[in-house]
Amino acid sequence: MSFASPYVLRETGGNLARNIVMTVAAIVTMAVSLTALGGVLIMRQAINQATVQYQGGVELVVFINADASAQEITGLRQQLAGMVPEEVRSCHFVDKAQAYAEFRSMFSGQPDMLKVMTVQKMPPSFRCVPAKAQNVAQLASQLNKQPGVLNVGYPGQAIKEELARFATLRNVALVVAGGVMLGAIALVVNTIQLAIFARRREVAVMKLVGATNWFIRVPFMLEGLVEGLVGALIAFFITYLARDTLASFTGSNPLVPDQPLYVSSHEALLTGIFVVALGTLVGTGGSGFAVRRFLSV
């Protein structure tokens, strides 16, 4: 039997219409829980995008003049290599092309900034992990004096505070999303249960005339799938359209004062796709549980 057969579509639509209040409640609850989850994912992407230079344990970035000579870069590389492992645990070089790719990712929502920067204008850099975090300021002062060095960045404390604030927001949002998601699953189960109860005599007749178990089950399971999918689509549009607002809840960019956090439309789209897939899965799983629990076929 096809899921798109006239019988399945007719029965699914009938079940949804008969329990319209419960159906709307399940969809709204699903949308709220998935929006909270989507918001957490959007905020995490915004934080990751803003602190891309300082991921992987990097606490010190030695920015080099865009017009620095090869000899100056080589000299700085040798100096950093001589600091391993007493002062510096590890370092890696980021060339102009890689720096420009990072810049485009970090400021994808600022077209004016993208217009004025080119690959040649981007400063290459060394990304370093100090052997001891308390020595970061001393290392920065020492490296700032070297030929070819533009600036040494080490906003470790600001990033740690930003990550701590995000962790608090994330935990609260996940607790809310989890609680509301449980409510959404309960509503889906109750809606399917009511649909089964309302059609209990029809189900008994279908069993007597030889209808297969799946023939009877599919319309009820499809009902839960529809509720989960519609709720997820609502959450998708909310998180996608309000992505910048959601990202701004974590505060401003710790690396660029007064610069709000944001995510690219591509990242928001991927988050939305995940939310839709999860909502569909939860709706189908809830209806599947209800069918097994309340429908003896």
- Mean pLDDT of each 10-residue bin along the chain, 297 residues long: 59 72 85 89 80 67 88 89 84 89 75 77 87 78 87 73 74 83 84 74 70 71 85 93 81 60 82 92 85 68
The residue ranges of every structural domain in the chain are 6-52+159-294, 60-153
pLDDT score at 274: 93
pLDDT score at 259: 65
Q: State the DSSP string of 138-149.
A: HHHHHHHTSTTE
pLDDT score at 7: 60
pLDDT score at 220: 76
Going by their DSSP bridges, the two strands 60-64 and 149-153 should be labelled as: antiparallel
pLDDT score at 167: 77
CATH architecture group of domain 60-153: 2-Layer Sandwich (3.30)
Q: State the DSSP string of 130-178.
A: ESSGGGHHHHHHHHHTSTTEEEEE--HHHHHHHHHHHHHHHHHHHHHHH
pLDDT score at 195: 73
pLDDT score at 133: 67
Q: How far apart are CA 258 and CA 147, in angstroms?
A: 31
pLDDT score at 157: 59
pLDDT score at 158: 65
